[in-house]
Amino acid sequence: MSDSRRSVDPTEVGQARPNGNAERVLSRVLKILLIVAAILYFAVAGIYVALRYIVLPQADAFKLRIEQLVSLKLHAQLHIGRISTRSGLQPILDIDNLRIDTADGAPGLAVPHASARVSWSSLLHGRLTLAALVGMGRMSSSRGTRTGM
């Protein structure tokens, strides 16, 4: 009669011993993931620093280009008095003396001060996206109605 009740060592049951090749592959994959994560981290940090200290302080220099691009999109003439910036987690553009005239040059909407908070999703989409746009002061339109905000 065979001895079917033989004791089995619990460490031997259901365990496959990984060979050295699997450990090397796993180690290499983890190193690559770590390198990619570090590159992404420093790329995002570099973009943030460049925007905050190089691009945003010179926002007023881009005024003419912004006016042209927005005018084309609106099919109206946009005029900006001054652009200044504030930095934080989300950059804020302060726009003074914003005026939108109709395509034929007739006076349109006049906003004394507006603030636009730029969304970080702009970097992902490759185009400017605003998280918030607030107009302040006494605004007027060509119809003569005035609204204060």
Render pLDDT for 46-70 as a digit per residue (tens, 0 to 9): 988 888 888 888 888 888 988 898 8
The three-class DSSP label of residue 139 is strand
7 domain-assigned: no
> Would you say residue 13 has pLDDT above 70?
no
What range defines the domain where residue 99 resides?
Answer: 61-148
For residues 5-32, give the mean pLDDT: 73
80 domain-assigned: yes
81 domain-assigned: yes
1 domain-assigned: no
The larger pLDDT score, comparing residue 20 to residue 99, is at 99
Q: How confident is the model at residue 119 (pLDDT cuts 50, 70, 90)?
A: confident
For residues 140-147, give the mean pLDDT: 57
pTM for this predicted structure: 0.60
What pLDDT, on a 0 to 100 scale, did the predictor assign at position 11?
58
41 domain-assigned: no
Cβ–Cβ under 8 Å, residues 135 and 114:
yes
Instruction: Please report the sign of the dihedral spanned by the C-alpha atoms of residue 48, residue 49, residue 51, residue 52.
Output: positive
The three-class DSSP label of residue 105 is coil
65 domain-assigned: yes
20 domain-assigned: no
**What is the number of domains present in the chain?**
1
